[in-house]
Amino acid sequence: MISFALTDDQQTVRESMRGFAAAALRPKARECDEAAAIPDAFYEQAWELGLVATQLPEAVGGYGAPRSPLTNAIVLEELAYGDAALALAAVGPALFAYAVADQGTAEQQQAYLPGLCGDRYQAASLAVAEPSPTFDACAPRTTLERQGSGYVLRGSKCAVPLADRAGHFLVVAREGDGLAAAIIARDAAGLTIRDDKTLGLKALPLATLELDGVRVAAGDKLGGSAGADVGRLLAHSRVAIAALLTGLGRAVLDYCIPYTKERVAFGEAIARKQSIAFRLAEMQMEVDCMRWMTWKAASQLEYGHDATRAAHLARTYTADKGMWIADNGVQCLGGHGFIREHPVELWYRNARTLGVLEGLASV
């Protein structure tokens, strides 16, 4: 069926997320970016929304709402409309939680999910990206090898969100010719965590994990000995990033519209010049297209189809257009677009950063 209709629940969620983004994210975005830090209070405030726990099974302390990539895509677009870095801080633990809930063994769910359903903010994260110039999420250099009763992880991961506070990490690695994901604790021997300083998403804690022969217990390979569908896990994260870029793109457009209507040059509002007006029209076209590409992939995940292709195309498309929109946002503001008094320069950095990272969020 071809339908773009939100359910009543989805409409409610969208409205509340829109409100939260306007009240708690957008106003803090600049300050957090300049400080390259997010106040602990924000983590707790976001936690109270139960964003992570909602879709986790009641058996582990979640609210037991059905897992919905579509609903999550809507949530992420709205939060990123406020600020992408704060949005990622708010939903970060879902990276780990959804993966374990979707593909973990019963034991893994019991062992790791209850902690993520408590009253206080609890972080856990996913490690996908690697600092290689030819990084390919589907061909990681990090390896998982059998050793004795368990496994051992070797390699390095970068841009791992919330690594400063995550209790556990789900690490994507190559196992033989295939892919696997393994759970390790932050205090695992052989694991060193080093903060990453980045172009964008500065407020979000990101770090490099050096995995120098980190031991993984037999039971800590995601999905157990059967393993997990890591491709599907990556698809969830790609659709999430596509949703974030859609929200960012919409933020740029909505900022440029009033600005260009007020800004006067050569005797009239610059929005009345075709060169600006047509650019805004193009931005609107692409924000829409980004959303539909995201929804298409999300609806394939939602209804259990193979989303590899759709997620890949959505990711590529939103990375390109998100960058294009942010770039033109800066141009619409001219000199002011280059100054840190306006958010467009922040969106310019965040768009490029989101466009090249993997494993930042999950739907």
Partner 1 sequence: MIDLNLSPNDERLLAAVREEALIARRYARYYDENEHEFPPDQLPEAKDHPGFMSTLGQREDGDAGMAVMTTLIAMGQTWGDYSVRMRRQERGLGNSALQAAGTEEQKRKWGDKILAMAITEPGCGSDPSLVRTSARLDGDHWVLNGEKIFVTTGCRADGVVVWATVDRAAGRGGIKSFLVMKGTPGFIVAHKEKKLGIRADDTAAYVFQDCRIPRDHLLGNDEEVHRGGSGGFKGVMKTFNMTRPMVAAIGLGMAEAALDFTRDQLREAGVEVTYGSTLHNQPAAAEKFRRLEATFEAARLATLRASWLADQGESNNLEASIAKAKAGSAVREVTQGCIELLGPMAISRDHLIEKWFRDVRITDIYEGTGEIQRLIIARTILGYSRDELK
Binding mask 266-285 for partner 1 (x = CB under 8 A): xx--xxxx-xxxx-xxx-xx
Q: Which stretch binds a copy of itself (CB under 8 A): 116-124, 151-159, 274-282, 334-342?
A: 274-282
Closest Cα partner for 348 from 204, 136, 131, 202? 202
Closer to partner 1 by CB, 216 or 354: give it. 354
Which of the residues 223 through 242 are near partner 1 (CB under 8 A)?
231, 234
Closer to partner 1 by CB, 129 or 244: give it. 129
State the Cα–Cα distance between residues 149 and 163, nearest whole angstrom.
Answer: 27
Distance in Å, CB of 211 to partner 1, minimum: 16
CB atoms < 10 A from the CB of 168, how many? 23
Could you say which of a copy of itself, partner 1, none residue 163 binds, taking C-beta under 5 to 8 angstroms by partner kind? Answer: none
Strand 178-185 relative to strand 123-127: parallel, antiparallel, unpaired?
unpaired
Closer to a copy of itself by CB, 3 or 274: give it. 274
Which of the residues 276 through 305 are near a copy of itself (CB under 8 A)?
278
Q: Are 172 and 128 in contact (CB under 8 A)?
A: yes
Distance in Å, CB of 91 to partner 1, minimum: 20
State the Cα–Cα distance between residues 351 and 325, nearest whole angstrom.
Answer: 9
Closer to a copy of itself by CB, 184 or 330: give it. 330
First to last CA, the chain: 21
Distance in Å, CB of 282 to partner 1, minimum: 7
Closer to partner 1 by CB, 134 or 149: give it. 134
Binding mask 55-94 for partner 1 (x = CB under 8 A): ---------------x------------------------
Is residue 275 involved in binding a copy of itself (CB under 8 A)?
A: yes
The residue to which tokens 């600005």 are assigned: 259
Is residue 5 involved in binding partner 1 (CB under 8 A)?
A: yes
Is residue 45 involved in binding partner 1 (CB under 8 A)?
A: no
State the Cα–Cα distance between residues 189 and 342, nearest whole angstrom.
Answer: 44
Is residue 273 involved in binding a copy of itself (CB under 8 A)?
A: yes
Cα 2 to Cα 5, 11, 292, 295, 296, distances in angstroms: 9, 18, 12, 11, 10
Is residue 255 involved in binding partner 1 (CB under 8 A)?
A: no
Is residue 196 involved in binding partner 1 (CB under 8 A)?
A: yes
- DSSP structure string for 84-107: HHHHHHHHTTHHHHHHHHHH--HH
Is residue 274 involved in binding a copy of itself (CB under 8 A)?
A: yes
3-state secondary structure 16-66: HHHHHHHHHHHHHHHHHHHHCCCCHHHHHHHHCCCCCHHHCCHHHCCCCCC
Q: Are 98 and 75 in contact (CB under 8 A)?
A: no
Is residue 244 involved in binding partner 1 (CB under 8 A)?
A: no
Chain residues that interact with a copy of itself, rule: CB under 8 A: 273-275, 278
